[in-house]
């Protein structure tokens, strides 16, 4: 038999891994009051570091949305392939005398 058969188990597993990665990427920067040290330039450093962390979080959130969308797309593809393969199997299982 020629053709392409989808590995639905692998597709489901990949979809779950993508969803898990998206969940981990949505972690927000930690709350609380930043520590202040009696070191020259520490306040500027902390401000720059906080700004960088917020930008990093924003980028990670965008990446998590990408992975979340990819997970949703893979889940939809899995459902479509399963439905298509089930329908094809039902058609192949019919005997020649069965009504359509």
pLDDT digits (tens, 9 = 90+) for 60-85: 888 888 888 888 899 999 999 999 99
Distance in angstroms (rounded) separating the CA atoms of residues 48 and 50: 5
Coil, helix or strand for 75? helix
Distance in angstroms (rounded) separating the CA atoms of residues 42 and 49: 10
Per-position pLDDT tens, the chain of length 100 = 344 555 677 777 777 777 777 666 665 665 555 555 566 777 788 888 888 988 998 888 888 888 888 888 999 999 999 999 999 988 888 756 655 5
Q: What is the pLDDT of residue 83?
A: 93
Q: What is the pLDDT of residue 1?
A: 37
Q: What is the pTM of this model?
A: 0.46
Q: What is the pLDDT of residue 9?
A: 76
Distance in angstroms (rounded) separating the CA atoms of residues 43 and 29: 18
């Amino acid at each position: 038999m020629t053709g392409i058969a989808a590995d639905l188990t692998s597709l489901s597993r990949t979809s779950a891994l993508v969803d898990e990665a998206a969940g981990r990427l949505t972690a927000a920067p930690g709350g609380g009051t930043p520590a202040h040290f009696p070191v020259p330039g520490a306040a500027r450093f902390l401000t720059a570091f906080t700004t960088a962390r917020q930008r990093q979080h924003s980028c990670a959130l965008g990446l998590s949305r990408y992975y979340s969308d990819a997970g949703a797309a893979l889940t939809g593809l899995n459902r479509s392939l399963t439905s298509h393969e089930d329908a094809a199997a039902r058609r192949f299982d019919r005997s020649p005398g069965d009504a359509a």
